[in-house]
Amino acid sequence: MQRSVKTSLATLVALALFLLGFAAQGDAATKRKKSSKASAKPATPVSVAKGKKASAATTARRASYSPRATRRSRYVRAHRVAYSPWVTPTFADSTYGDNVDGEDLTVRRAAVEALGPYNGSVVVVDPQTGRILTIVNQKLALSGGFIPCSTVKIVTGLAALSEGLVDRTTRLPLSRRVAMDLTEALARSNNPYFAKLGNQLGFDRVHQYAKLFGLGERAGLDIPGEMPGALPSEPPKGGGVGMMTSFGTGISMTSLQLASLMSALANGGTMYYLQYPRNQAEADAFVPQVRRHLDIQKWIPEITPGMMGAVEYGTARRAHYDPNEPILGKTGTCTDPQRAHMGWFGSFNQVDNNKLVVVVMLTGGGNVNGPVAAGVAGNVYRNLSGQRYFASSSRPFSPNALISTQCCTDSR
């Protein structure tokens, strides 16, 4: 009897221990299952065969959802650029307030249509006389100067040619593998090239030639409201003379000053006082007046290939190259200190003796630049060509007028 009781008790104890062990194993299995779900690696995609190396795309995709990568990664706040509106609008009515009395209305119509909605100015000059045919947006063109941007490279190039530092084929090393000559540097508006020329010239000579070519003084003869622009008295602090000769830093230039320089290049070196007849009486009494003769005749053939190259394959391609009516010019793109973007294009065409100088200056937002200005100028030429303006021998105020070399003070 006692033996059977002991046997029953032993059986019950063994059964209890068995049940406790089974429960413990179940809890451990549950924990392992949860842990495996949190740390298990993703299965190899079916497309990747066993023994073959996964592609870079597959590896990157695996890493993107790998728990290890998730643990190591940290949240990075997205960089947001602060909103910075341009002070000057890109589009405006550029004809508002203009007085068209005394202008060549055919030229004005072509210029207004070419400028369209842009906030800017178009100045058209007869380079053989210095007579201003039209100014679209007269207030902008006359009231102040702007940084010339890369149009200053014309001044730098002429100064370097005159000083014998380079000729058209001289290649300057710009880096270990890059060298460039004057023609390509002008066409592509290469900044290091002209900064290097500026450093070789030095500030004093750069200032001397800039003043000789009309910067820092009024280009017009008794034109009400015209401002003289400005030349710095010392090298700019930001970049020195190199920035001055490649970007125009420190210089303030007007559209009339650039038109005067382009006129001298177009006519062989004569710098006229720009005159702007404002009524029929002044138009009838118009007589060209010479300001000075520039000794640049032998350098013009050296610098004009780069200006033509700008239109053919360089920064001014929007002007559209036409071998029958070629356009020569120089673009300029930069930002002025007032946080407005600038787009310049100074140009002239080569159509026998019926040449015109067209200077376009645009201001506004980031979509304003030199190539856009070149496109506007190209449209001016094409609009006039479509009206056979250059084929006409009866252009008003033609170069046959008596040219006066009467002394006019240069103190203005």
| pLDDT of res. 185 | 98
| pLDDT of res. 300 | 98
| pLDDT of res. 77 | 44
Q: What is the DSSP letter of 97?
A: T
Coil, strand or helix at 334: strand
Q: Which two tokens stand for residue 15?
A: 């059964």
* Region 357-371 average pLDDT: 94
Tell me: pLDDT of 59 over 70: no
315, 371 Cβ separation under 8 angstroms: yes
Query: CA end-to-end span of the chain, whole Å?
Result: 139
Q: What is the DSSP letter of 87?
A: S
* Region 239-264 average pLDDT: 96
Tell me: pLDDT of 384 over 70: yes
DSSP character string of 50-74: TTSPPPHHHHHHHHHT-HHHHHH--
Letter for the amino acid at 227? M
187, 315 Cβ separation under 8 angstroms: yes
pTM: 0.76
Q: Which two tokens stand for residue 166?
A: 């380079």
Q: What gap in Å lies between CA 384 and CA 348, rounded to an integer?
A: 13
Q: What is the DSSP letter of 345?
A: E
| pLDDT of res. 11 | 64
| pLDDT of res. 12 | 62
Element (H, E) at 83: none
Element (H, E) at 409: none
Position with higher pLDDT, 66 vs 58: 58
175, 316 Cβ separation under 8 angstroms: no
Element (H, E) at 339: none
The residue extents of the domains of the chain are 105-386
Position with higher pLDDT, 66 vs 250: 250
Letter for the amino acid at 386? G
List, for residues 156-206, the tens digit of each pLDDT value. 999 999 999 999 999 999 999 999 999 999 999 999 999 999 999 999 999
Tell me: pLDDT of 86 over 60: no
| pLDDT of res. 20 | 57
**What percent of the chain is predicted at pLDDT more than 70?**
74
What is the phi/psi pair of residue 34, to 5°?
-65, -40
Q: What gap in Å lies between CA 184 and CA 371, rounded to an integer?
A: 17
* Region 329-334 average pLDDT: 98
Q: What gap in Å lies between CA 174 and CA 41, rounded to an integer?
A: 54
Res. 411 pLDDT band, cuts 50 70 90: very low
CATH of 105-386, one of 3.50.50.60, 3.40.50.720, 3.20.20.80, 3.40.710.10: 3.40.710.10
Res. 280 pLDDT band, cuts 50 70 90: confident
Letter for the amino acid at 296? I
| pLDDT of res. 401 | 40
Tell me: pLDDT of 348 over 50: yes
List, for residues 307-322, the tens digit of each pLDDT value. 999 999 999 999 999 9
Tell me: pLDDT of 118 over 80: yes
Pick the closest to residue 332 from 321, 348, 320, 347 (CA basis).
347
Tell me: pLDDT of 4 over 80: no
Pick the closest to residue 258 from 325, 331, 308, 335 (CA basis).
331
Tell me: pLDDT of 233 over 90: yes
Tell me: pLDDT of 391 over 60: yes
Q: Which two tokens stand for residue 230?
A: 């400005």
DSSP character string of 258-327: HHHHHHHHHHTSEEEPBB---SHHHHHT---BEEEE-S-TTTHHHHHHHHHHHHHTSTTGGG---TTS-E
Coil, strand or helix at 24: helix
